[in-house]
Chains A and B, each alone.
Chain A
Amino acid sequence: MGRYVIRRLLQMIPVFIGSTFLIFFMVYALGDPVAALFGEKAPDPATAAQIRHDLYLDHSLGAQYLHYMKNIFVGDFGTAFNGEPVLTLMGDAFPITIRLTIVAIIFEIIIGILLGVITGMRRGKPVDTGVLLLTLVVISVPTFVTGYVLQYVFGVELKWTSPSVSPSAPFNELILPGLVLALVSLAYVTRLTRTSIAENTRADYVRTAVAKGLPRHRVIIRHLLRNSLIPVVTFIGTDIGALMGGAIVTERIFNIHGVGYQLYQGILRNNAPTVVGFVTILVLVFLLANLLVDLLYAVLDPRIRYA
């Protein structure tokens, strides 16, 4: 197991370098950060050269990348063009997005698995058909539609919650945005759990559990669910990264100043250090979440052992 983890960590290095270089290349080589800094106006050549020198932009792309990477390892993600260190922006944005992601994951786990178990055990019954239809609707309608609709219904009409989230973004204000963010994944979790449960209800070991005289709840939770959740847990694990990066739309709708908001602003203004810095961290989150899933898989299914 230890050796497997080390190997996996080593494998992450080329992926990390490759993906960060790609984003670096796209932002720095395909756009002109200095021109973006001046907006509509044409920059004074002398000032532009000075800025290029200060930002290390007068070197080759490879050298710029190495310089950037070197700085990252001492915790320096550079300075956004408004003068704020990117690290400060991250410190503000990530806790908010992490909170939002936690709310979303909790929704996925509780509602998704519950619905999945209920429909999986009542295949073909009205509950099953109804929920299945609902998941189809949720999957088909884009987040910016469901987001605005739910915001309007619960925030504006019913006034159960405030339609926009305050800058500190406490948990109670993140419930509705978290649900919106979770919605599509939740539908997938429901369907995945349903299929998995349906497949396993007829398994021999479930019959054995019944023959042992175990109470129904024990048969379902300890035997059926324990086996059926393996693919679901894998899905939710990989979804962590997707949720954190994918919160852009949700954060825009509810005016949450998290990672998605910062990235959106960064891209809009061609603010290179912000975009590269945030994406670099997101790449790391993705990689670590995937590693976590693989390790979790071995814990959940003893038949899989990594050598």
Chain B
Amino acid sequence: MTVTDERTGAAAPVSTTPLLEVRDLHVEFHTRDGVARAVNGVDYSVNAGETLAVLGESGSGKSVTAQTIMGILDMPPGRITQGEILFHGQDMLTMSAEQRRKIRGRKIAMIFQDALSSLNPVLSVGYQLGEMFRVHQGMSRKQARAKSIELMDRVRIPAAKERIGDYPHQFSGGMRQRIMIAMALALEPELIIADEPTTALDVTVQAQVMDLLAELQREYNMGLILITHDLGVVADVADKIAVMYAGRIVETSPVHDIYARPAHPYTKGLLRSIPRLDQKGQELYAIKGLPPNLTRIPGGCAFHPRCPMAQDVCATDVPLLHPVGAERGSACHFWKETIGD
């Protein structure tokens, strides 16, 4: 039993089943160098109207988990070896391809990082938006066009009517990401997975896009899984955080607790490596070492070779996600010491 499981009942005031629940998910990739274990037992859940931020370095398995939920993992080389993904309590991994397709876009939608490469370069944005209505709701071209203009207005793209026939390359980066958001929102899904939605944008535009996303999420009462490596983005919009390392969740927590008192040395390291104004002139902290090679994840706690607090036990015993307080969990043998100092 994990902390995530115990928590779901209390965290969901409306219904007892969470909107989405990932249980003990394992995903591996067969590569030339061996089997890369990208996801090694991830548990998390999201309720309607709630934002879960999944935090981690590249290669921590956060995107692979998202792609597995979405059902867009490349298989092969990817393979789901274990686990369940429950949507309204129903395991999506046992559904037929057609059932899953009907959930995609309609119930669960995804926003990708790089809108320029994620939008089809040779189709107009109007066509790509309208496709959602035409395919899923059987609308005529004309109706779909009207709905698409409405959508573009919703995400505040100026002169939507004139720009509906434009192609992705004719928009700026921020506008393109708005189109991605519009496309994800088209059918008012219950859950949106945003995979680094603002990473490719410059800082001022990042804030605008993030605000828009948060606002629309509140309005439609959607669940949101926000995948990011940017702690700054998370603080403003997330309700709870799951920190991932080497395919495992190492810490889960409501958003504010984690900033004040991180319960895992990795989270602590991440927080310390954010540049702060009062440390101007001093050397910036960096977690020593590199993320592990996924084909050769260290035994015991995967983080132990880089951990400043590591003891002998860390190299041999895999720490489970211990409950460390209200709705919090840490996968560290020495969470007490971590949270304490």
Contact partner of B105 among A202, A212, A222, A300, CB < 8 A? A212
Give the CA-CA distance A300 to B167 in the complex, in Å: 12
A226 contacts the other chain (Cβ, under 8 Å)?
yes
Which residues of B, 32-80, contact A by the 8 Å Cβ criterion?
70, 72, 74
Contact partner of A203 among B103, B117, B124, CB < 8 A? B117
Task: Provide the residues of chain B in CB contact with A212, threshold 8 Å.
Answer: 104-105, 109, 131-132, 135, 183
Cβ-defined contact, B135 with A226, below 8 A = no
Closest to B105 in A: A213
Cβ-defined contact, B136 with A209, below 8 A = no
Task: Provide the residues of chain B in CB contact with A300, threshold 8 Å.
Answer: 122
Contact partner of A204 among B117, B122, B124, B167, CB < 8 A? B117
Give the CA-CA distance A230 to B122 in the complex, in Å: 10
Contact partner of B120 among A202, A210, A227, A230, CB < 8 A? A227
Known A-B contacts A213-B136, A223-B120, A303-B121; A208 and B102 likewise in contact (beta carbons under 8 Å): no
Task: Provide the residues of chain B in CB contact with A215, threshold 8 Å.
Answer: 101, 135
Which residues of A, 175-198, contact B by the 8 Å Cβ criterion?
none
Known A-B contacts A212-B183, A214-B131, A226-B122; A205 and B117 likewise in contact (beta carbons under 8 Å): yes
* Residues of A participating in the B interface, judged by any CB pair closer than 8 Å: 202-205, 207-215, 218, 222-223, 226-227, 230, 300-303
* Residues of B participating in the A interface, judged by any CB pair closer than 8 Å: 70, 72, 74, 101-106, 109-110, 112, 114, 117-124, 131-132, 135-136, 167, 169, 183
Cβ-defined contact, B109 with A205, below 8 A = no
User: 13 A-B contacts, Cβ less than 8 Å apart?
Assistant: A207-B112, A208-B119, A210-B104, A211-B70, A211-B105, A211-B109, A211-B110, A213-B104, A213-B106, A213-B135, A214-B135, A226-B122, A301-B122
**Which 5 pairs between the two chains have the least Cβ-Cβ distance?**
A213-B105, A213-B104, A204-B117, A205-B120, A302-B167
Known A-B contacts A212-B104, A212-B183; A302 and B122 likewise in contact (beta carbons under 8 Å): yes
Contact partner of A211 among B104, B120, B131, CB < 8 A? B104
Give the CA-CA distance A303 to B122 in the complex, in Å: 8
Cβ-defined contact, B122 with A213, below 8 A = no
Closest to B166 in A: A302
CB distance from B1 to the nearest CB of A (A): 32
Task: Provide the residues of chain A in CB contact with B106, threshold 8 Å.
Answer: 213
CB distance from A212 to the nearest CB of B (A): 4
Cβ-defined contact, B122 with A227, below 8 A = yes
Give the CA-CA distance A301 to B168 in the complex, in Å: 12
Give the CA-CA distance A230 to B103 in the complex, in Å: 32
CB distance from A211 to the nearest CB of B (A): 5
Give the CA-CA distance A300 to B122 in the complex, in Å: 7
Cβ-defined contact, A208 with B131, below 8 A = no
Task: Provide the residues of chain A in CB contact with B123, threshold 8 Å.
Answer: 222-223, 226
